[in-house]
């Protein structure tokens, strides 16, 4: 598959001279350090990426995670979580302080990675930075996209893993079979609710994803933090933050009937980002102190010094 990214409205095209186009050969190459980083065929467990059926030490726990997630992520639950966490009254801290907090977090839903999250953030950001040196907003998006996982920590309510991590999906309409471990949705009460179990449910065709309630987790929380703290990142960055775990859409093409024109444009950026988010989960280590000044400068450019969380 080849992805052709047209000139975005908010700046010069990623990694090109003005007016040029750049073609991305899907899953062929990433640059993480001096020279070329070839996308690995297997993850750190020796299995293919996002293989939820592969037998391995984490497979049983990952499947149990999705069973609990799919049972409990209802439309009413998401409404309650968004109402509570949109208050942003937990703590005040900077973006970098939040990055450091992620040293305490391991994502139990991820079949590809068991390193502390700060490693993944820097791997993603640095991979993007090498390929797209002129698009600093995209570098910063790579760094911050998973910061919402602090919801797992006591000071943020210590939410269970199923309410923080994992693939996300719309609630309030039928659960598409493209969602991982779809069979467990049959235990979700919304599955049998006629208000929620049709193709459109409570939505309408082309309503726009901004009007769709997504399963609650770190994606939506970090989106709320960025938006309500008046960050100046472009709309594509906010789209990436909010939907980077929405694999049923950006890998399988499900739920496109809910998208509007802006969603279609931003989805191009998300699909580019996802390659770095997924395949930079490697053994490549990043020198945190070496890159820290650069990312602090981007944080200062796009965010206030302290944010409400």
- Does any domain span residue 30? no
Annotated binding residue 257: no
Q: Which domain holds residue 238?
A: 58-308
Q: Could you tell me the pLDDT band of residue 31, with boundaries at 50, 70 and 90?
A: very low
Query: Does the pLDDT at position 32 exceed 90?
Result: no
Query: Does the pLDDT at position 92 exceed 60?
Result: yes
Annotated binding residue 245: yes
Of 11-25, 55-69, 257-271, which range is least confident? 11-25
Annotated binding residue 166: yes
Average model confidence (pLDDT) across the chain: 83
- Does any domain span residue 238? yes
- Does any domain span residue 225? yes
Annotated binding residue 287: no
- Does any domain span residue 223? yes
Exposure b/e, 76-103, CB count within 10 A at least 16 = b: ebbeebeeebeeeeebebbbbebbebbe
Of 37-51, 206-220, 256-270, which range is least confident? 37-51
- Does any domain span residue 213? yes
| Alpha-carbon span 308 to 215, nearest angstrom | 22
- At 39-71, the pLDDT tens digits run 545 434 344 544 545 444 546 688 999 999 999
- Does any domain span residue 128? yes
Annotated binding residue 250: no
The arithmetic mean of pLDDT across residues 211-218, rounded, is 98
| Alpha-carbon span 126 to 307, nearest angstrom | 24
Q: Which residues touch 119 (CB under 8 Å, ≥6 apart)?
A: 285, 286
Structural domains counted in the chain:
1
Q: Percent of the chain at pLDDT above 90? A: 67
- Does any domain span residue 168? yes
Q: Between 32 and 303, whose confidence is greater?
A: 303
Collapsed DSSP state (helix, strand, coil) of residue 5: strand
| Alpha-carbon span 297 to 274, nearest angstrom | 24
For the chain, how many residues are written? 309
Annotated binding residue 181: no
């Amino acid at each position: 598959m080849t992805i052709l990214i047209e000139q975005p409205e908010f700046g010069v095209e990623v990694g090109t001279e003005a007016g040029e186009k750049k073609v991305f050969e899907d899953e062929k190459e990433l640059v993480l350090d001096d020279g070329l980083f070839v996308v690995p065929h297997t993850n750190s467990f020796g299995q293919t990426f996002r293989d939820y059926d592969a037998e391995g030490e984490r497979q049983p726990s990952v499947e149990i995670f999705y069973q609990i997630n799919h049972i409990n992520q209802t439309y009413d639950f998401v409404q309650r979580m968004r109402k509570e966490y949109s208050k942003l009254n937990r703590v005040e801290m900077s973006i970098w302080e939040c990055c450091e907090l992620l040293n305490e977090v391991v994502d139990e839903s991820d079949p590809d990675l068991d390193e502390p999250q700060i490693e993944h953030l820097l791997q993603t950001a640095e991979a993007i930075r090498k390929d797209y040196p002129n698009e600093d907003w995209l570098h910063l998006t790579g760094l911050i996209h998973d910061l919402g996982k602090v919801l797992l920590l006591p000071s943020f309510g210590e939410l269970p893993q199923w309410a923080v991590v994992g693939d996300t999906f719309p609630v309030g309409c039928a659960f598409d079979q493209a969602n991982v471990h779809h069979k467990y949705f049959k235990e979700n009460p919304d599955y049998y609710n006629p208000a929620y179990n049709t193709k459109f449910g409570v939505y309408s065709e082309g309503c726009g994803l901004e009007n769709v309630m997504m399963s609650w987790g770190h994606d939506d929380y970090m989106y709320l933090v960025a938006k309500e703290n008046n960050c100046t990142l472009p709309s594509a960055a906010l789209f990436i933050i909010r939907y980077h775990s929405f694999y049923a859409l950006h890998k399988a093409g499900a739920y496109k009937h809910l998208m509007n024109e802006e969603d279609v444009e931003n989805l191009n950026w998300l699909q580019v980002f996802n390659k770095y988010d997924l395949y930079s989960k490697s053994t490549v280590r990043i020198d945190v102190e070496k890159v820290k000044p650069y990312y602090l400068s981007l944080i200062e450019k796009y965010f206030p010094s302290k944010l409400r969380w």
